[in-house]
Amino acid sequence: MRGGQDEARAPVLQFTNCRILRGRALLREDLWVREGRILDPEKLFFEERRVADEQRDCGGCILAPGFIDVQINGGFGVDFSQASEDVGSGVALVARRILSHGVTSFCPTLVTSPPEVYHKVLPQIPVKSGGPHGAGVLGVHLEGPFISREKRGAHPEAHLRSFEANAFHDVLTTYGALDNVRIVTLAPELGRSQEVIRALVARGICVSLGHSVADLQAAEEAVQCGATFITHLFNAMLPFHHRDPGIVGLLTSDRLPPGRHIFYGMIADGTHTNPAALRIAHRAHPQGLVLVTDAVPALGLGDGRHTLG
């Protein structure tokens, strides 16, 4: 009860002169917020007898939820996979610049790299709240190096790894401290991957399946061990086949643990994924769709030669 009373006493903020998306149309309406929650103004007035404590004029701008990008490799000339003495300043630059693109939080993503890069970079990217200074950092997304050689894509083959006998110890030796890590993408068909998935999940780290030649059974077993995400669906994995749909089949699998939800990232740029494929995935499992940019350091720059990793 005390929590409800404290909330009722919290200041109410009213956004005026703004446009809000409702029913696929932009409407001019005010928005009332208290402690991050949108309020019903009628209930506020008639039940609490309250008016706004503060008003902010939006100048006719669109008021919308911020975009959360869980896979972004860099931007504006900054490559998160490049080890330097001041990685934090590069992350801060990207965080500041992507605000104008509607991104309010993100996972800086590292492509496959040698251990010395992880050991130097990861401690320099702490979790950080967002604000006027830039988008928030939710934690690092480690994409590799424990992925398939056949589906490595742009990842450098020389630095790919498999799991050794003491698999999770090998993970710690490769990455170093995992304190700032939020997501790890791995290929579930690799030997000893199941014990690694369990260990990562026990530490609160999201395990994503990707850059993989796994069949559906291997993917289902990975989910049963705790994996909950798919990295850029359709890209860098076996194509859908009616006899064995592979990782894609997780969207409609009936062999997942009760209550376990699968989410999947998709690069909806019309190139990495055909719009028809995007619609198929969304209609099969709409609640799991997570849009990602998979942006590279060339984001925001002009034509030219750019690096990744």
If one compares 104 and 49, the residue with the highest pLDDT of the two is 104
d(CA 195, CA 168): 7
Q: What is the mean pLDDT of residues 220-248?
A: 98
pLDDT score at 5: 57
**Which residues face 141 on adjacent strands?**
109, 183
36 pLDDT tier (thresholds 50, 70, 90): confident
For residues 15 and 31, is the Cβ–Cβ distance under 8 A?
yes
Residue range 67-292, CATH number: 3.20.20.140
Helical H runs in the chain? Answer: 2-9, 41-48, 87-97, 115-121, 167-175, 193-202, 216-224, 275-284
6 pLDDT tier (thresholds 50, 70, 90): low
d(CA 172, CA 235): 27
pLDDT tens for 105-152 read 999 999 999 999 999 999 999 999 999 999 999 999 999 999 999 999
pLDDT tens for 259-299 read 999 999 999 999 999 999 999 999 999 999 999 999 999 99
Is it the case that residue 2 has pLDDT exceeding 50? Answer: no
Q: What is the mean pLDDT of residues 51-67?
A: 93
Query: Which fold does the domain 9-63 belong to in CATH?
Result: Urease, subunit C; domain 1 (2.30.40)
Is it the case that residue 187 has pLDDT exceeding 90? Answer: yes
pLDDT score at 288: 98
Share of the chain above pLDDT 70, in %: 97
Range list for CATH 2.30.40.10 in the chain: 9-63
Range list for CATH 3.20.20.140 in the chain: 67-292
Question: Does the predicted model carry a pTM greater than 0.85?
Answer: yes
Residues serving a catalytic function are 294
Q: Where are the beta strands (DSSP E) in the chain?
A: 13-22, 25-34, 37-38, 54-57, 67-72, 74-75, 78-79, 103-110, 136-137, 140-143, 181-186, 206-209, 229-230, 263-266, 289-291
pLDDT tens for 67-106 read 999 999 999 999 999 999 999 999 999 999 999 999 999 9
Average pLDDT, the chain: 95
**CA distance readout (Å), 24 to 20, 21, 36, 126, 176:** 10, 6, 23, 37, 46
pLDDT score at 1: 38
Q: What is the mean pLDDT of residues 247-267?
A: 96
